[in-house]
């Protein structure tokens, strides 16, 4: 099978992981109203883990486009367009940090993949934090210091969601969810 090709099983897994993230989009929409009243610099949009499906897809499938396909499923089911932007940043991270996801002599879910999940989560936070700059009324009403603090907080929170996604992907793999047929090296089994 060619290296960049997704199997039918992988495509379905992307759809399932993406659809599983949709409730986080709905929660983010609901929380956004409350957060806008209390801490508007953290709102627009709320840093919810709606990119988790894309992160899990990137770690379990490890093929170009897997994160973006999961993001499209999240948008279709969750009706949150901002989730597509954040998953585009996850896909960008998967392309930029592809060596961290390479299967070789390292464990399938070792330090390299943990580093990828943190970097991809943080990069999705960059996409998420750009949302407040798209709303001119909020951008003009808040001081730049608060906007910057909100952006830094969103990036840190999304890096945390990347860590959570790492543990979800690892747990799914350990219970037998392996949509791309990943195989660890002979001497590096996942505990």
8 A C-beta contact, residue 56 and residue 168: yes
- Tell me how far apart the alpha carbons of residues 24 and 182 are, in angstroms, rounded to a whole number: 28
Secondary structure class of 59 (helix, strand, coil): helix
pLDDT at residue 40, as a whole number: 82
Secondary structure class of 183 (helix, strand, coil): coil
Kindly report the CA angle at 24 between 52 and 136, in degrees rounded to 5? 100
DSSP one-letter string for 58-115: HHHH-STTHHHHHHHHHHHHH--HHHHHHHHHHHHHHHHTHHHH--SSS-TTSHHHHH
Point out the residues of the chain with pLDDT beneath 70. Answer: 1-4, 136, 184-191
pLDDT at residue 124, as a whole number: 92
Domains of the chain: 8-174 (1.10.1760)
pLDDT at residue 157, as a whole number: 94
């Amino acid at each position: 099978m060619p290296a960049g090709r997704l199997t039918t099983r992988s495509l379905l897994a992307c759809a399932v992981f993406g659809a599983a993230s949709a409730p986080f989009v709905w929660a983010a929409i609901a929380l956004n109203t409350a957060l806008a009243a209390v801490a508007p610099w953290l709102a627009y949009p709320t840093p919810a883990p709606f990119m988790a499906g894309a992160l899990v897809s990137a770690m379990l499938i490890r093929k170009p486009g897997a994160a973006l396909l999961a993001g499209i499923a999240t948008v279709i089911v969750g009706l949150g367009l901002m989730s597509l932007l954040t998953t585009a940043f996850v896909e960008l991270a998967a392309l930029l940090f592809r060596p961290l996801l390479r299967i070789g002599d390292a464990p399938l879910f070792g330090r390299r993949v943990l580093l990828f999940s943190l970097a991809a989560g943080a990069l999705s936070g960059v996409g998420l934090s750009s949302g407040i700059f798209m709303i001119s009324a909020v951008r003009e009403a808040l001081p730049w210091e608060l906007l910057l603090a909100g952006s830094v907080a969103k990036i840190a929170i999304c890096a945390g969601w990347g860590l959570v996604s790492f543990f979800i992907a690892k747990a799914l793999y350990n219970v037998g969810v392996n949509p791309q047929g990943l195989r660890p090296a002979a001497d590096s089994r996942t505990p």
